[in-house]
Amino acid sequence: MAVSNVPRIRLLDGLYGWDFLLRGHHGQELVIQFDWDYRLFAQAFGWSVERVRPELGCPHESTDGTVPCRSCGLTPADFLSDACDYLTESVGRSIPDPGFFTGDDVFGS
Ligand SMILES: [Zn+2]
């Protein structure tokens, strides 16, 4: 349960309005400005494909958001814009660093 010494990261607004900034515990900064980054960072803050368009009643089990959902037909663009909205709502939040600044391989697979 020694989670208190896990470095935390904070999500901030980026410089241009459409991007985001991730600040590490030592002041390191990571700019999130590309579409394909949004999903990864949104997931770190708790986003998942299951929460996209709940009114469709589809858990989107056939996709991780990078390919169309075979069940309901939502496209990667749909998942992406939802991930982007989620990041926008998450600005100001901080979470334990899942590895963005600690060198763990969060970009793998
Ligand atoms: Zn679906």
Output the tens digit of pLDDT for each of the chain's 109 residues: 455 678 899 999 998 888 999 999 888 999 998 877 899 999 999 999 999 999 999 999 999 999 999 999 999 999 999 999 999 999 999 999 988 887 665 555 4
* 107 is a domain residue: no
Residue 65 located in a structural domain: yes
**5 CA from centroid of ligand 1 (Å):** 38
pLDDT of residue 48: 96
Q: What is the pLDDT of residue 15?
A: 86
Q: Give residues whose Cβ lies within 5 Å of ion ligand 1.
A: 58, 60, 69, 71-72
Structural domain for 54, as ranges = 8-91
In a domain, residue 33? The reply is yes
Q: Which residue has the tokens 């010494």?
A: 5
Q: Is residue 43 part of a domain?
A: yes
70 Cα–ligand 1 center, Å:
6
User: Do the domain assignments include residue 40?
Assistant: yes
Number of domains in the chain: 1
In a domain, 51, yes or no: yes
| Residue 8 CA, ligand 1 centroid: distance in Å | 33
